[in-house]
Amino acid sequence: MVFENQKRLFIHLPKCAGMTIRKSPVLAPYLVVATPDNHISKKYTEGLHTVMKRNGDHHGNEHARWRDISYPTRSLYRPFAVARNPWDRVVSRYFFAKKVIEVEKKEPVGKHNIDSFEHFLEERFIWGGKDYMWHRAIRGWFPAVDHVTDIQGNLMCDMMRFENLNSDLCAYFKVPQMSRARNVTALNEGTYMDVYTDKTIQIVADWYKADIDMFGYDFDSGAKKNYWRQTQ
């Protein structure tokens, strides 16, 4: 598909460096993000806002999937997103939940089970299939491919690699450097791999099989296929 506009439509998956990209003064002139004005319909936006208000959550308009964006917007701007190792992403979401609840006190204790990482994983059965939860960081148990494919499962976005974010974005937008990272959820020590047991590794592998198959992840690697390359 040929896109006439030089700006890019950013499909913002939660906990995939979205704030770093959206708040970058270097990239700001090139970005179009999801808003109620370019959602696929007024009914979609109203449904999203109703569900989020009922749950006491921010609307998260910017986390709409590619398929939730209006056709005129999709046809005008070339879409891109960031692919992140699912084992890494789940740990980031877990520590983000702990930060929001225990440190920032923005959600009440008991709203999410964060007693342990394994307890947090059980929430996938509560929120995994609920409409609009792809807009949430903590409750967002939908696979990443759901954000970036059409209803037939075709990949519709240029995918940057989280693990190579700076170099991928600089090449993609033809800019010399990126600004500093924003909204980073840091572990106290170690890496995401240190959080896992054999059991929890398999839980995430089973739940995010679609992402692993699409992007060729291993437990300790970034995307190995279906990501944007500079020759494209």
pLDDT band at 114 (very low <50, low <70, confident <90, very high): confident
- pLDDT value at position 110? 61
Q: Give pLDDT, residue 128.
A: 92
Q: How far, CA to CA in Å, does 47 sit from each of 51, 59, 125, 167, 219?
A: 6, 10, 22, 38, 36
Residue 186 has pLDDT above 90, yes or no: no
Domains in the chain with CATH codes:
8-215 (3.40.50)
Mean per-residue pLDDT of the chain: 91
- The answer to whether residues 137 and 93 touch, using CB atoms and an 8 Å cutoff, is yes
Q: CA 231, CA 24: separation in Å to the nearest integer?
A: 24
pLDDT tens track for 192-204? 999 999 999 999 9
SS3 assignment, position 155? strand
Q: Is the pLDDT of residue 49 over 90?
A: yes
> What is the structure's pLDDT at 190?
84
- Per-residue pLDDT tens over the stretch 158-182: 999 999 999 999 999 999 887 665 5
Contact present, 84 and 13 (Cβ < 8 Å): yes
pLDDT bin (cut points 50, 70, 90) of residue 101 is: confident
